[in-house]
Amino acid sequence: MKYYLIAGEASGDLHASNLMKEIKLRDQEAVFRAWGGDLMKNEGAQIVKHIRELAFMGFTEVLLNLPTILKNLRYCKQDILDFQPDVLILVDYPGFNLRIAKFAHQKGLRVCYYISPQIWAWKRSRVHTIKRVVDKMLVILPFEKDFYKQYNVDVEFVGHPLLDAIAPIQAPKDFRHDNKLGNKPIVALLPGSRKQEISRILPVMLSAADNYPEWEFVLAAAPAIETDFYEKLIHGRNVKVVHNQTYNLLLNSTAALVTSGTATLETALLNVPQVVCYRGSSFSYQIAKRLIKVKYISLVNLIMDQRIVTELIQHELTEAEICKQLELLINQPDYRGKLLDQYSLLRQKLGGTGASAKAAGIIVKGVMKSV
């Protein structure tokens, strides 16, 4: 069977690659063509566009890059027609993927959406589009199934694929030695995967790092971003940068400063106390504040439906506030212990491993039925 996948970000690349691995176990003749990253390529996908060309963030950035986005949409539609897949698998990335879903539905192609857009947070009207143009929704957060069911969307909760990705990982014994790190407690810096957000958030993280020579601050570089970009922002500070070792870094860290996104959940599942950091452009933030309908920005707090981790958003993201929160996480055992207890409850709420396998089984079975 022929599978066309579209993932526009690093997390989508990870989850789509694990999904592909499971699809191949069920369909030995599987052929993959995709918009994605290196992980999907390593699983055998022919990459049409790499994620490094696709990551536009916020209202302002989307407007500035609108000609490129429209060009990508036209190219994608024609490429799908030329490939004629048995199923189109969309992975999050809603602004782009929902437009492609409408097109594919019009052309009579089977459409499966894996990892729902966060329409329960904003743009809820999109649920009506999804009901009309998506054949199967495969959701990964426990409350999403109930959300879609109330609109009579064909939906299945498959569990969160991060549990699959993280389950086999063990802390490497030589991480400190291999990266020339000493014995100081490590604070991981995860400033995001897009240049726009890194440029706004990393400098504040670094200013806080200046206050603590007794801690080792280590930055996890995003795969698609060159080292020079980070070095200009670090500007000679004693901050180490590691590449393609985010999980290994977290497993060796005492605490973490994490930009809002999937990384907040990854950090929690790896049991690292964290402070969630976010700062967008003033224009984007003012619009988002009026449109977004949820109480929290981190997945950890959203899933637990309460404030588990501290969120420092926009004007709250300051050097002084970061330092205050790090002191609590590292030097206050009771505070730290309560947070780790909540992480344990979070894992229970997400269910067990096997999300990728379950999703693959549903997709392949659906394709076989439709042929």
Given this model, what pLDDT does residue 195 score? 87
pLDDT in tens, 157-166: 999 998 988 8
Q: Rounded distance, CA 107 to CA 119, Å?
A: 25
Nearest to 61 by CA among 192, 191, 197: 197
Same domain? For 338 and 364 the reply is: no
Same domain? For 365 and 333 the reply is: no
In a domain, 103, yes or no: yes
Cβ proximity of 36 and 45 under 8 Å: yes
Same domain? For 320 and 359 the reply is: no
In a domain, 168, yes or no: no
Q: Would you state the structure tokens that stand for residue 209, as one six-digit string? A: 């790092």
Q: What is the mean pLDDT of residues 21-28?
A: 96
Q: Would you state the structure tokens that stand for residue 302, as one six-digit string? A: 């959203």
Domain with 114, as residue range(s), is 2-161+353-370
Torsion of CA 296, 35, 16, 93, to 10 degrees: 20
Q: Rounded distance, CA 321 to CA 254, Å?
A: 18
- Beginning with the edge strand found earlier in the chain, give each strand of the sheet holding 240-243 in spatial order: 240-243, 216-221, 186-190, 255-259, 274-278, 310-313
pLDDT band at residue 287 using 50, 70 and 90 as cut-offs: very low
User: pTM of the full predicted structure?
Assistant: 0.77
Q: Rounded distance, CA 359 to CA 249, Å?
A: 29
Helix (H, G, I), strand (E, B) or coil at 31: strand
In a domain, 155, yes or no: yes
Task: Write the CATH number for 82.
Answer: 3.40.50.2000
Domains in the chain: how many in total?
2
pLDDT in tens, 64-81: 566 777 888 999 999 999
Helix (H, G, I), strand (E, B) or coil at 159: coil
Given this model, what pLDDT does residue 117 score? 87
In a domain, 200, yes or no: yes
In a domain, 170, yes or no: no
Q: What is the mean pLDDT of residues 303-327?
A: 94
Same domain? For 31 and 45 the reply is: yes
Same domain? For 116 and 218 the reply is: no
Same domain? For 35 and 145 the reply is: yes
Q: Rounded distance, CA 198 to CA 279, Å?
A: 9
Same domain? For 13 and 56 the reply is: yes
Same domain? For 75 and 110 the reply is: yes
pLDDT in tens, 254-282: 999 999 888 999 999 999 999 999 987 55
Same domain? For 341 and 218 the reply is: yes
Same domain? For 118 and 94 the reply is: yes
In a domain, 228, yes or no: yes
Same domain? For 340 and 221 the reply is: yes
pLDDT reading at 288 higher than 60? no
pLDDT in tens, 213-249: 999 999 999 877 888 999 999 988 889 999 989 999 9
In a domain, 167, yes or no: no
Same domain? For 221 and 301 the reply is: yes
In a domain, 166, yes or no: no
How far from the centroid of its chain's Cα atoms is residue 174's Cα? 27
